[in-house]
Structure formats: C-alpha cells, structure tokens
C-alpha cells in the first residue's frame, strides 16, 4: 500500500491552517505544568516521566494537579534515570532537594521494546479494568506485558503504530511498492537506507532469513530512530524505516514524502504507560480522555492511534481527508497481517544476536 499526497484540487478536502489549529497541529504549543494543590508540595507531588516527543503535548498539558510531568532525551535515558533513582521514595531522609532528585516517578511512558527490560517487581497493577476493556483484543497481551491470560494488567497500551518505509523524491522506488519489504534489499540502496535502532525490528522485516538480513545490513547507512527523518529529509538517505506516527505531521508540509506500508503487514510499535511499584494511582479521567473526543481526533491528526475498536476510530476520522484517514486506519485485512514483538527469552536473544552479528557487512 503506497500513499502520497499531491496538491489537492480546490474542491478537494484538505487540512488548512484553521483545521490544523483545531486538530492541534498548527502550533507545537508549550507544555503546561499543572498547578499544585494546596497542601501538596512540589517535592512530594506524583510525576510522570516520559521521553521527549514520546507523548502528545495536547494530552500532557491536561495532566491534572498535583501531577507533574518531566522528560528525558529518550527511552534509554529514561531507564538510566530510573535506575539512578533506585528504590528511594519521596519520604527518604536528607534535604528536600535531595529527596526530590532521588524520588521515583509514579508513572513512566515507554515503547514496548524498552518496557520489556523492566521486571514485574518494579511495577504495580493498574487496577483499571473499565479503561482496559475498551481496548481492542490486540492490546490485551500488551497490557499484561505478555504474561499469561488472567494476569494483572501492568500497562496501559494507549497507542500503536506500524513500521513503514518513508521515501522522499523517489518516484522509481515508489512504483515498486508491490515488492514490499523486499524493496529494502535492492543493491541500488547501498548506504542509502536508515534502519531502526533495534536489531529485533530489523530482523522482523526480513523474517530472520540470513541471506536477506545480510543484504539488508549491506544497504544500511545508519541504525538510528532519532535521526532517521533528518537523514531522509537532508537527502543523505533514500529510504527510512520509521513508525508511521513520526511521519504523519510531516506529510502536509513536504509533498515529496511518500509512505509504503507493505501488503504483507509490518511489525508494530506500541506506546505504554506503566505504574511503578508504590507509585500514586494514575488519574483515570486523564487516561480516559485519550480514548474519546475532543482529544482523540487531535491525537489521530498527530499520528497517534489508540487501539480502540474500529468503529470508534472510524467515527473519529470521519472529518479527515480520505487519504489521511486510510493511512491512519488501513483496511482490517491489512492490519490483521501486522504483528507485535513479544519479549524473547535468553536462548532466543542469544540466537538472534548470533544471527545479527554473522550478517554484518565485511569491513
């Protein structure tokens, strides 16, 4: 499935500046730190720790008092920050400033691949069944972090996104969209392909086949989620494999961008909220807001797709341009061919690491 966005005819539906502002895309806006309730000092207020760009500003600014929101550069830095805080809580001894620097967040936001590095002992069940039962069946294993059915929910999987191929000014490649992920193996893409930072995701694109993986790695310019789009937009790369969410805000600004979602499906990236052990209960109304209007259409316009039943998503997309709505919510038959990436046990990790290392290009 290939999508491009040529200049629309005057009568065609388009996202004008007024509509973009209504959907929350016309301005990045500032993150508003919630005010504090009297009797709850900044040093003991619960807080959410997230990565920069890892959550929609339109949702974060609704975080109610006395909750606070803090950000770090990325998921790796978040886990490092969490480890540095250890098990120290807000009530530990020492100066107030020292307490605050060591306090652990009550909630953390992580992609599913990073969340798998946490132990269940570090987490506390959400105990929000009415919230989670609204989500699609595909989200339920994520809420349990892939533990057995009937286990307590430890995560709120609030959004997902398929990995896709992003092309810029590459009409010849776009015409070959039917080749799907095989397109990435074209020798003409040598040193022109930006791949995900995760070897697991890279291997999922080629089904774990050694020869195909070796061809894929031979074409890699970089393995860099954070800078993939910069490399693509600068012309250093011809193709970048990125989550669809990252592309949506750019499509209206750059008509040369095209998105390829293979008909064979794609691995999925999930966004999770997790409650740390001993953390304050998460604000239910704030969590619920992401699943319904008026916030839901704004999140969709920014590329964030909550795992809701299809009729609810279709209703929220009713006023979107058809091409954008189809890109955000592909046909059910295509979505059914997309897949999540459950955590691996030690034996599986070692096997994949061996395969990955063996497929490295010769120096």
Among residues 337, 340, 335, 168, the alpha carbon closest in space to that of 240 is found at: 168
Structure confidence at residue 85 (pLDDT): 85
Strand partners, 260: 2, 165
Strand partners, 161: 269
Q: Give me the sign of the Cα torsion angle 194, 117, 51, 246.
A: positive
Structure confidence at residue 2 (pLDDT): 52
Peptide bond into 141 cis (omega under 30): no
Q: Under 8 Å CB-to-CB from 162, ≥6 apart: which residues?
A: 243, 244, 261, 265, 266, 267, 268, 269, 330, 338
Q: What is the DSSP string of 247-279?
A: HHHHHTT-TTEEEE--TT--BEEEEEEEEBTTP
pLDDT per residue over 101-144, tens digit each? 468 999 999 999 999 999 999 999 999 999 999 999 999 999 99
Peptide bond into 8 cis (omega under 30): no
Structure confidence at residue 321 (pLDDT): 96
pLDDT per residue over 158-173, tens digit each? 999 999 999 999 999 9
Could you tell me the domains of the chain?
30-160+269-335 (3.40.190.10), 165-267+341-358 (3.40.190.10)
Among residues 9, 56, 4, 15, the alpha carbon closest in space to that of 319 is found at: 15
What's this model's pTM, rounded to 2 decimal places?
Answer: 0.84
d(CA 352, CA 126): 33
Structure confidence at residue 167 (pLDDT): 96
d(CA 255, CA 251): 6
Structure confidence at residue 11 (pLDDT): 33
Checking if the pLDDT of 87 tops 50, the result is no
Which is more confident, 3 or 9? Answer: 3
Query: Picking from 34-43, 90-99, 352-361, which range would have the lowest pLDDT averaged per residue?
Result: 90-99
Structure confidence at residue 280 (pLDDT): 96
Checking if the pLDDT of 334 tops 70, the result is yes
d(CA 226, CA 242): 9
- What tokens does 267 get? 């691995």
Structure confidence at residue 43 (pLDDT): 66
pLDDT per residue over 17-76, tens digit each? 344 334 444 433 333 333 333 444 566 899 999 999 999 999 999 999 999 999 999 999
- What tokens does 281 get? 């209960």
Task: Give the number of C-alpha atoms closer than 13 A to the C-alpha of residue 149, restricted to the C-beta side.
Answer: 4
Which is more confident, 197 or 7? Answer: 197
Structure confidence at residue 13 (pLDDT): 34
Q: Under 8 Å CB-to-CB from 90, ≥6 apart: which residues?
A: 43, 44, 99, 100, 103
- Per-residue pLDDT, averaged over 181-207, amounts to 97
pLDDT per residue over 248-300, tens digit each? 999 989 989 999 999 999 999 999 999 999 999 999 999 999 999 999 999 99
Average pLDDT of the residues of the chain: 87
Q: Where are the beta strands (DSSP E) in the chain?
A: 2-4, 47-51, 68-72, 107-111, 155-168, 193-195, 220-223, 239-243, 257-260, 268-275
CA of residue 17 relative to chain centroid, distance? 26
- What tokens does 273 get? 């909220």
Among residues 274, 16, 38, the alpha carbon closest in space to that of 145 is found at: 274
DSSP state of 73: S
Checking if the pLDDT of 94 tops 70, the result is no
């Amino acid at each position: 499935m290939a999508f491009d966005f040529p200049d629309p005819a005057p009568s065609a539906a388009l996202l004008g500046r007024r509509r973009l502002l209504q959907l929350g895309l016309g301005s990045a806006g500032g993150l508003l730190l919630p005010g504090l309730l009297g009797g709850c000092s900044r040093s003991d207020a619960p807080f959410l720790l997230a990565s920069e760009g890892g959550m929609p500003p339109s949702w974060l600014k609704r975080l109610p008092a006395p909750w606070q929101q803090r950000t770090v550069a990325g998921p790796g830095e978040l886990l490092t920050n969490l480890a540095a805080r250890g098990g120290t809580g807000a009530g530990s001894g020492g100066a107030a400033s020292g307490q605050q620097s060591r306090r652990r967040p009550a909630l953390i936001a992580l992609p599913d691949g990073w969340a798998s590095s946490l132990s269940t002992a570090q987490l506390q069940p959400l105990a929000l069944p009415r919230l989670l039962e609204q989500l699609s069946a595909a989200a339920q294993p994520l809420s349990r972090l892939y533990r057995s059915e009937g286990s307590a929910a430890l995560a709120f999987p609030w959004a997902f996104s398929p990995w896709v191929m992003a092309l810029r000014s590459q009409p010849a490649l776009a015409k070959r969209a039917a080749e799907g992920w095989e397109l990435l193996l074209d020798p003409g893409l040598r040193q022109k392909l930006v791949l995900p930072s995760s070897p697991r995701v890279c291997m999922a694109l080629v089904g774990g086949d050694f020869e195909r993986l070796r061809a894929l790695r031979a074409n890699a310019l970089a393995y860099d989620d954070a800078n993939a789009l910069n490399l693509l937009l600068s012309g250093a790369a011809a193709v970048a494999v990125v989550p669809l969410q990252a592309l949506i805000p750019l499509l209206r600004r750059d008509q040369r961008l095209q998105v390829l979602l293979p008909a064979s499906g794609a691995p999925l990236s999930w966004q999770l909220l997790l409650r740390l052990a001993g953390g304050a209960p998460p604000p239910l109304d704030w969590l619920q807001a992401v699943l319904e209007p008026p916030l839901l259409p704004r999140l969709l316009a920014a590329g964030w797709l909550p795992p809701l039943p299809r009729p609810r998503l279709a209703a929220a997309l009713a006023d979107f341009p058809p091409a954008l709505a189809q890109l955000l919510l592909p046909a059910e038959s295509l979505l059914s061919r997309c897949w999540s990436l459950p955590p691996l046990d030690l034996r599986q990790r070692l096997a994949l690491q061996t395969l990955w290392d063996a497929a490295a290009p010769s120096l």
